[in-house]
Amino acid sequence: MTIVALQTNELKHGLKTRHVTMISIGGVIGAGLFIGSGTIIDSAGPGAILSYIIAGLMIVLIMRMLGEMAVVNPDSGSFSTYAHQAFGPWAGYTIGWLYWFNWVIIIAIETTLLGTMIHDWFPGIPMWAASLSFPILMTITNIYSVKAYGEFEYWLAFMKVAAIVIFLFLGAAMIFGLVPGFDSPGLSNITGEGGFLPKGFLPVLLSVIFITFSLSGSEVAAIAAGESENPEKNIIRAINSVVWRLLLFFVGSVTVLVLVIPQGAEDLLKTPYASVFDMAGLPAAGQIMNIVIFTSLLSVLNSGLYTSSRMLYSLSKKGDAPKILSRVNKRGIPIWALMASVFFAYVFTTFKFVSPDKLFAFLANSSGGVTMIMYIFIAFSHLYLRKKTEKENPGTLKVKMWLFPYLTYVTIAVLFIIFVAQAFIDSMRLQFFLTTLLTILVIGSYFLFYHKKNVIAAEQEGKLKNIHVKEG
């Protein structure tokens, strides 16, 4: 009986509603917000608020599309599965492998950042040793059970959310002059010298491109919902929570930064959140934010191992990866997919120490635009599957994209503009060409290694169906 249980190769539904909801919220709150927002404000001025509103709305629309498809078909492969259903095996294969590669690179980046922080705190610990220890720790939480991952991620995300909520309340108190020893600037940073758009509107639009790339992570909720107790209910809750909390946390906290930190204060914008705590007279502000950032990096690493393993598992189930990767242990964990992700994460982390400016930089740039390609696949898949579902089974559409199909078309157009715009931005040009090249190579690998096999499998499946019909 035990052998049979081990060979079912099915994931267990161990995540609770609160796990999926917090995963969806925490997925987009990372070091990119706590540190990257300062760079955005420095380049766009107070207009950065508009940049975050536009980018936030884009993510909300993408999540709405993904949520609609996920309610109809909760699946650990998520958008890879939906691309497969909409456009065929090549599409699911392409976005699945690109997304897996992207997350493994992110794991390597977060690992080295964590190692750097540990080395700064404890100089006696070599950075490489600290870096290589964290994937092991996160693997333990992932390998025990999906519930253990969900619980650990819940508390990591909770700490990030709590930090932002405290920051919002503190910022509001500073703006309204309720903090002793701090003279409220009111609206002078917006209405005073320089105004709302001190450098014009172009930096606002360019900032949208950078922000959109940094907001990936909310889609993890759609993957996790497939292992929850009530996928349909949890996806709906996750989507609804992302919609308003994303705008509140990102737009709200950036508004606080803009109103409190004077324009042109580059030193303060290097660590903007810590600067606001320091301006409020709170002791150890920098250390507090370092702990929050450390927690954020751990959270991303934890989610990265989970997400990459589930995507490999899904690819294996569809025949787009070695079959061994779809085997699960008695706790329902795709153990071989997890180990493969950890292994390659270690390989890429090693590249960071051996060849940081060449080999690792090449890999990082190759994966940099994958987020936008993923969004484009989601939007096109939604366009096709929504029309198909309306014809075949409209009752399953419990969550619907607003103003369909017009908002979907607008989203696709904006996504293409953002993706192509990389080619005209010096700092993103290499990323654009390398990601495009990688995408072409992945598509080519499908037709070289898997297309013929899938055609034969489809023909055999068709013959079996005909046999069953005749026998019936």
Residues 29-40: pLDDT tens digits? 776 788 788 999
| Average pLDDT score over residue span 164-189 | 90
Residue 374 pLDDT class (50, 70, 90 cuts): very high
Q: pLDDT tens digits for 414-440?
A: 999 999 999 998 888 999 999 999 999
Nearest to 43 by CA among 196, 264, 257, 254: 264
CA dist., res. 47 & res. 325, Å (int): 47
Residue 168 pLDDT class (50, 70, 90 cuts): very high
> What does the pLDDT read at residue 78?
86
> What does the pLDDT read at residue 150?
86
| Average pLDDT score over residue span 11-31 | 76
- pTM for this structure? 0.89
Residue 171 pLDDT class (50, 70, 90 cuts): very high
> What does the pLDDT read at residue 449?
86
> What does the pLDDT read at residue 229?
76
> What does the pLDDT read at residue 429?
92
How long is the chain?
472
Residue 396 pLDDT class (50, 70, 90 cuts): confident
- Count of C-beta atoms within a 10 Å radius of residue 60: 17
Beta bridge partners of 15: 228
Most confident region among 26-40, 80-94, 258-272, 360-374 by mean pLDDT: 80-94
Residue 8 pLDDT class (50, 70, 90 cuts): low
| Average pLDDT score over residue span 185-214 | 85
Token pair recorded at residue 4 = 């049979």
| Per-chain mean pLDDT for the chain | 86
Q: pLDDT tens digits for 48-92?
A: 999 999 988 888 899 889 989 988 888 777 889 999 999 999 999
Cβ neighbourhood burial of 424 (10 Å; 0-12, 13-18, 19+): exposed
Place of tokens 């009986």: 1
Higher per-residue pLDDT: 21 or 138: 138
Residue 466 pLDDT class (50, 70, 90 cuts): low
User: How far, in Å, are 52, 112, 117, 120, 340 from residue 128 at the CA level?
Assistant: 35, 8, 11, 12, 21
Higher per-residue pLDDT: 226 or 324: 324
* Rounded percentage of the chain residues whose pLDDT exceeds 90: 39
> What does the pLDDT read at residue 415?
93
Residue 5 pLDDT class (50, 70, 90 cuts): very low
Segment among 165-174, 238-247, 290-299 with least mean pLDDT: 238-247
Q: pLDDT tens digits for 332-358?
A: 899 999 999 999 999 999 998 888 888
Cis, bond preceding 405 (omega within 30 deg of 0): yes
Higher per-residue pLDDT: 233 or 162: 162
> What does the pLDDT read at residue 458?
59
Q: Note whether 348 and 108 are within 8 A (CB).
A: yes
- Give residues with Cβ within 8 angstroms of 7, minimum separation 6: 327
Say if residue 13's pLDDT is above 80: no
| Average pLDDT score over residue span 116-123 | 92
Q: pLDDT tens digits for 249-262?
A: 889 999 999 999 99
> What does the pLDDT read at residue 445?
94
> What does the pLDDT read at residue 454?
67
